[in-house]
Amino acid sequence: MNTSAAFDKKIDRLGSNSFKYDMMGKLFGTTDAIPMWVADMDFASPDFVLDAIRERCDHGILGYTLLPQGWSAAIVNWMRQRHGWNVTPQQLGFIPGIVSGLGLAIQCFSQPGDGILVQTPVYPPFMSLPTANDRKLVINRLVFHDGQFHIDFADFERQVATCTLFLLCNPHNPGGRIWTIDELERMCAICNKYGVLIVSDEIHADLALPGHTHHCPGSFSPELSNNIITLMAPSKTFNIPGLSSSYFIIQNEALRKQFAAYLDRAELGYGSLFSIIAAQAAYEKGHEWLEQLKTYLATNIEYVDSFLKQHTPRIKACLPDASFLIWLDCRELLLDDHSLKHFFLKEAGLALNAGASFGPGGEGFMRLNIGCPRSTVEQAMEQLKVAYQSRF
């Protein structure tokens, strides 16, 4: 079992075909910066996942693979224990990834020209997938105040009334906002009113930080849950995104059959051998490890927040309810987005996600990944301090 000491261990990811590290030169124009952008963690995947993969490799044959009952049973038990949601094996199905699932849902449940609602600023594929599939991107811009995102419900209703699908990000990325039950029920009710299907990306659900609780709208009353397609995965939780281990939960039988049939037409409803093994091991054995991880992430977040307040007060950490991503409010630096990116990359030596890439409302912000050893976070903050003090 991993302990917090294991999270302190630095692992060299250069040359491992890591998107976060090995794409630095191409996308940032330099390799001389700390990569704190792509949303995977720099921690080793847990031993119980790696051991399960090794054990299967020792068998010697990596043949065509079925989705075993143990896979669905592990998900069912995990959902009940971690989220209080009683799902059945029949309501589950494999998808190649969360982003793939969003794209497939768009293709399956809408037509070219249909409106797809998203709430910006948001994870960029939410904006690119609708347009890439010849749909109309419709935006409900979130309101940012008191260090958190809030929903403009009057605008939400105006915009959703013109749409076929609503892509919900819960917890929201960026910002790590866990939507409240009241907020979720209100969005669901409005979507029901206009016959708009909800596709809910809940990939960060398991990473609700201490003191916070994630809410799955699929667990609400049948009146609301029958209009929801939930997409989840152990990938962020256990740092295994390279294994493509995502799945859907659909309680509405007609929607589930329609989506499963759509996946089957492209033979996409079957997981790879290692994605199945890893997901099952993670959900069967990962409770204690996950609690240790969340505690470690919370201490990293607290460190960053305290450091910024003391040394770089014009940069403010928007404390997340969930995940290992901190939304940095840099508007008081009075820099345009190009200058802001230059400051972090060239002056502070930090490769972050630019807030502007998350769409309207992201201007003047940056996204910082603290899913890494504390020593890396400390180094990053010291570099930021030096750059800040020399400029402001």
Give the pLDDT confidence of 82-101 residue by residue, as tens digits.
999 999 999 999 999 999 99
Instruction: Assign residue 67 the CATH number of its domain.
Output: 3.40.640.10
pLDDT score of 225: 95
Comparing CA positions, the residue from 204, 357, 360 lying closest to residue 293 is 204
Residue 220 has which token pair? 């609400």
CA distances from 351 to 27, 129, 139, 312, 366 (A): 10, 25, 28, 18, 10
List pLDDT tens digits, range 195-233. Answer: 999 999 999 999 999 999 999 999 999 999 999 999 999
- At 137, the amino acid letter reads L
| 273 lies in the same domain as 297 | no
| 297 lies in the same domain as 377 | yes
- Calpha distance 300→290 (Å, rounded): 15
- At 45, the amino acid letter reads S
Comparing CA positions, the residue from 230, 226, 144, 224 lying closest to residue 184 is 224
| 164 lies in the same domain as 19 | no
Classify residue 54: in a domain, yes or no: no
Classify residue 123: in a domain, yes or no: yes
Instruction: Assign residue 26 the CATH number of its domain.
Output: 3.90.1150.10
| 194 lies in the same domain as 220 | yes
Classify residue 57: in a domain, yes or no: no
List pLDDT tens digits, range 17-72. Answer: 999 999 999 999 999 999 999 999 999 999 999 999 999 999 999 999 888 999 99
| 383 lies in the same domain as 360 | yes
CB-CB contact of 123 with 173 (8 Å): yes
Residues contacting residue 268 through CB under 8 Å, at least 6 positions apart: 95, 96, 100, 104
| 278 lies in the same domain as 293 | no
Query: Domain limits at 77?
Result: 63-284
| 145 lies in the same domain as 263 | yes
Classify residue 149: in a domain, yes or no: yes
The residue ranges of the chain whose pLDDT is under 70 are 1-3
Q: Which residues pair with 167 in a beta bridge?
A: 199
Residues contacting residue 106 through CB under 8 Å, at least 6 positions apart: 116, 129, 130, 133, 135, 165, 199
- Calpha distance 293→299 (Å, rounded): 10
| 15 lies in the same domain as 69 | no
| 256 lies in the same domain as 122 | yes
| 258 lies in the same domain as 292 | no
| 225 lies in the same domain as 100 | yes
Classify residue 93: in a domain, yes or no: yes
Last residue of a domain, one of 284, 317, 345: 284
CA distances from 218 to 7, 199, 229 (A): 33, 10, 8
For tokens 């996204």, what's the residue?
Answer: 367
Last residue of a domain, one of 228, 261, 284: 284
Tally of domains in the chain: 2
- Calpha distance 24→12 (Å, rounded): 14
Classify residue 179: in a domain, yes or no: yes
The string of DSSP letters for 74-118 reads HHHHHHHHHH-----GGGEEEES-HHHHHHHHHHHH--TT-EEEE
List alpha helices for the chain, DSSP H. 4-8, 19-22, 24-28, 47-59, 69-83, 98-109, 125-132, 153-160, 181-193, 222-225, 235-238, 253-265, 273-285, 287-311, 337-342, 374-391
Quickly count: other Cβ atoms within 10 Å of residue 133's Cβ: 17
The pTM for the full model equals 0.97
Classify residue 53: in a domain, yes or no: no
| 71 lies in the same domain as 187 | yes
Residue 309 has which token pair? 């307040």
Last residue of a domain, one of 254, 284, 314: 284
Comparing CA positions, the residue from 106, 104, 102, 114 lying closest to residue 138 is 114
- At 271, the amino acid letter reads G
